[in-house]
Structure formats: structure tokens, C-alpha cells
Amino acid sequence: MAETALLTCPMCDFVAFPSDTYMMQLHFEQEHIEDSPFKIKHDPEPLPSALSTLALNSTGDRGDVPSDPEDSNTVLCPEADCGEAVLLTTLNEHLDLHAAERLTLDDEAAVSQYHHHHQSGKMQNLAAEDSTLPSFLEQNFNTQLPEGLRTDGHHPSGEQRKLKRRTRGNSTASEKSTLGRTIASFNPFTKQNKSVKPPKSNLRLGRSELGPHAWEDRMPTWLHKQLEEGPKVTVVNRIGRDGRLIKQEQVQNETPGIIPILAQLSALDRSVKEAYYCHPSTLHIGKTPKEGGFCGYRNIQMLISYIQGAHAQGFEEFPGRTPGILKLQDLIERAWDRGINTIGRQQTGGIRDTRKYIGTPEAQALFLGAQIDCAVEMFTDSTDGLIEAHEQLFTAIERYFRQGATPDGSNVYKTLLPPIYLQQPGHSLTIIGFERHKDSSCNLMIFDSMFHASPRMHQLIGRKNIRTSRPEVMHAYRRTVRQLRRHAAFEILMLTAHPPLFPAWDV
């Protein structure tokens, strides 16, 4: 296979794929041409109010409702089919993961660059200075915000990072993002021994909690139709183990078979001391084109995919294919009708046929409404700042997976446990595993509905004899201290019924 050379900026260390010539041109204009019309200046003048609300009005949101101050902290993802409103502080990471989902077997230059960086003395020196290493794509693809959008707090220098480590525990709450609405107000389903600041009001919430479409009465017709029709389903032919032709359905935004691949890759990673994975029937379910922020629903779907695949408690409630977003909205509204977490209806004004963000309270209402046992736990930074929320989260997740781990001589424990719904500020994820490394660092293994499995992952699915580690593939599924530390609070929802114990990993 011919080696593919990266594009390199002649003025700095910026690199890009050969196919990303536009990104290279844009970078050069913004960073190296002083009077470029594409260069973002410091302290730019705000857009006129009519222009700043144009995008919301064009998609059906109510333009007569004043926006919250937090609106200025988000930006629409520039990727054509994404549609997500992303926090400026996480835009770099968001674009990084979009690059990861395009990774193919042809990107040999990027892969070799990854291994070169991890084996070089430069990376070893960096590891000695800071245990939170830059990610693979941050090493190879410069997706930093233009200078005009940067703030000292979000892009600290090396000296600032050292100072922050020395003064750990003295940081103020304003430096971290926290949950806009929490399960703490939804008694009696939450633990009472948690010291949690209650929400400002138990009544109607706004855009800072429910997203840019908090006040819409109905989503756009085109989007309703897209969700009603559901993801595209195609039928492909493949050869079975017995040589017979098998017709297999492929769902546009669902990818089965990823967890067994990640388990193999964890075993091949020499830095991993122990790893744990949930039931392998859990699907990675992503978004459909331009749908926007339905991550809460997509993560509920991933938990339901486990229930369906494992025939776990409540599987009779979900016959056929994975229930769509409109169906999930109906189930949540029905749970409210039955008196479960009814404050959610007051806070949201109702969610049926809207794009309002949902969270742990709605996920809990849905499962309890279906008589599926679940529990919710919240983690917040300690008041003295010495124990951070992500550390408590790691401890809880490792404890959860250890309860289902059966020793088999391997350092990778293949459990039959359900995945976990994780709510972090502004976004939710599905936890499918946990890794502890030999240097004592930890990371979660997750499915993120914002992104699809890369072509490189698709080429690995189904293989049982992988012999080469693929850290560039693992990157999209790992969430490290560096990524989680920016948040001051997390919530998790766990399905607590005893999982079925019939074999699943060797099927």
C-alpha cells in the first residue's frame, strides 16, 4: 500500500490529511496572513441580534423568546451533517472526534505518525511533565480555535498547567462546567446523603438547560418526517461459517459488534493493566443526518439495545427494532402521566415532537415507567476541591464492573453487565467499559452518539484474531482524565436487575 504524505504548513507545524486541502488553506489564511478577511480578530463586535438568532428562527424556534447568556458559549458544528450546538470549550475535541470517525486503513501516514510520537523522546519528556498526554489527533491535526476565540482559561500554557496542578483543590467552581438540571430534585429516586445545590426553580427551564430549542412547540416538519421514517435499513448478503448465503440487515445509524473488538484491542495494549466491558449485544447508535442534539434519546436506545439483545428485564416492552425518538418521547410522556418524575414536564413544558434536551430524569422516568429496575447516582467536586467528580466517577464505574468480572486468566474481563447512561454537562454518553493502565491512570470506554464508527473500525468488526494494537482506533472510544476533569458534576443511570447469565461473548 502506497504511503500517504500529510500536508504540512510551510510556516508552522500544522498538518492535515491530503484530502483536507481546504483546512490547510483556511489555517494559512487565519494564522499567517495579517489582513486576511478570514482572520478572526480579538474582541470582535457582536453580531446584530437579528443575525444571531437567524439560525434558530429558520429551524422553528421561537424568535420572540430572549436567549440565555449561555447561548454565546456555543457554536454550530461546521461539519455538514452534524447539526450539534457545541460548547466553545469543547469544539476542539468535537472536531477531533469527527476526524477520528473518518479514519480508514489508507491513513497509514497518520497511524505511523501516532506510533512515532508515542515512541519518541519528545513524548516521553511530555509524559514526565504532564500525565495527561495529548490525544492522537491533537498530535497530528491542528484543530485549535483561532486566536480570536481563545481564552487563557481554556488554552493554558505549559506554565499555567503546572500552576494548576500545584494549586489543585483551590480552583473555583466557575472554572468547571456543571449540570444545568440534576436528578437531586426528583425525589424519592435519588440518594439523600449527597450535598447538591438545588436548581434555581422547579418550574419552566430555558435554553441553558434545555438547549437552543427550549421554547419550540414543534420540531420542523422535515425532521419529524425523518424521525418518523426511521434510519435507512439495507439488506446485504454474506457467507456464513457453514458456507451458506445469509441475508443480513444493516441499520443506517446502528453498529453491532464493536465491543468484542475493543476488548481485543485492550488486551493488545501493553499500557493496559486491567479492562472491563459490558454485555457485547450493546449497539453503538449514532445520529442520522442533521438531526442535531438528541443524545439523551440515543443513549436510552443503546441501553434498550442491551435489553433486547440480552433478553434482560423488560425486553417484552421493546419488540422488533430499536424504538425511535418519537416513540421514546411518547414513553416518557406516559411515565409523567403515571406520576413518575412529573417535575420533568413542568421543567420542560413537555417534550413530545420537540428538540428539547433531555437528561437523566427523563431516562429514569422511561425505564421506571416500563417497570425496569434502575438506580441513579450523582458525583460532584468536594467542597474543598480535593476530590474531583471524575475521580468519584472512575471509582464507581470500576466498582460496578468488578462485581460482574469472572477471572479467566486474561487482563480483560468480559462481563454480562448492562451499559451505563452517563450525563455530563451539555452531553450524555453510554459507558461500555473501563480501563486501568499500568501507570494507575484510568479512562472510561464509551459510545458517543454524536459520532459514527470509523471505516477502520468497520473493517475490524467480526475479527477474532486481531494481533496488532490499534490505539488510533481506540482513541474515539476512550474518555480520559484530561477530557473529564473539566466537569464539576456527573450523573449515571444503571440498570440494576440481575443480568441474564447465558453465554454471549462466544456467540
Q: Which three cell numbers stand for residue 102?
A: 473518518
Q: Say if residue 414's pLDDT is above 60.
A: yes
Q: How much is the pLDDT for 169?
A: 41
Q: How much is the pLDDT for 469?
A: 92
- Sorted by where each starts, the structural domains of the chain and their CATH numbers stand as 7-152 (no CATH), 178-223+253-495 (3.90.70.130)
Q: How much is the pLDDT for 133?
A: 44
Q: Say if residue 167's pLDDT is above 90.
A: no
Q: How much is the pLDDT for 32?
A: 74
- pLDDT tens per residue, range 435-452: 999 999 999 999 999 988
- pLDDT tens per residue, range 63-122: 334 344 444 577 777 777 676 777 666 676 677 677 766 666 555 555 554 444 444 433
Higher pLDDT, 289 or 1: 289
Higher pLDDT, 262 or 80: 262
Closest CA relative to residue 215, chosen from 347, 78, 121: 347
Three-state secondary structure call for residue 492: strand
Q: Say if residue 198's pLDDT is above 70.
A: no
Q: How much is the pLDDT for 297?
A: 97
Q: How much is the pLDDT for 106?
A: 57
**162 — pLDDT class (breaks 50, 70, 90):** very low
Q: How much is the pLDDT for 135?
A: 45
Contact 420, 430 (CB under 8 A): yes
Q: How much is the pLDDT for 46?
A: 41
Higher pLDDT, 357 or 140: 357
Q: How much is the pLDDT for 299?
A: 98
Q: Say if residue 254's pLDDT is above 50.
A: yes
Q: Tell me the C-alpha distance between 13 and 16, whole Å.
A: 10
Please state the rounded mean pLDDT for residues 11-25. 67
Number of C-beta neighbours around residue 39 at 10 A: 15
Q: How much is the pLDDT for 490?
A: 96
Q: How much is the pLDDT for 196?
A: 46
pTM: 0.71
* Residues listed for the chain: 507
- pLDDT mean across residues, the chain: 77
Q: Say if residue 150's pLDDT is above 50.
A: no
Q: Tell me the C-alpha distance between 347 and 359, whole Å.
A: 12
- pLDDT tens per residue, range 353-385: 999 999 999 999 999 999 999 999 999 999 888
Within 13 Å of residue 251, how many CA atoms lie on the same side as its CB? 19
Q: Say if residue 187's pLDDT is above 60.
A: no
Residue percentage of the chain with pLDDT more than 90:
48
Q: Say if residue 496's pLDDT is above 80.
A: yes
Q: Say if residue 260's pLDDT is above 90.
A: yes
Closest CA relative to residue 469, chosen from 279, 262, 274: 262
Q: Say if residue 321's pLDDT is above 80.
A: yes
Q: What share of the chain is helix, strand, coil (3-state, %, to 5)?
A: 35, 15, 50
Higher pLDDT, 147 or 88: 88
Contact 489, 378 (CB under 8 A): yes
Q: How much is the pLDDT for 186?
A: 62
Q: How much is the pLDDT for 174?
A: 53
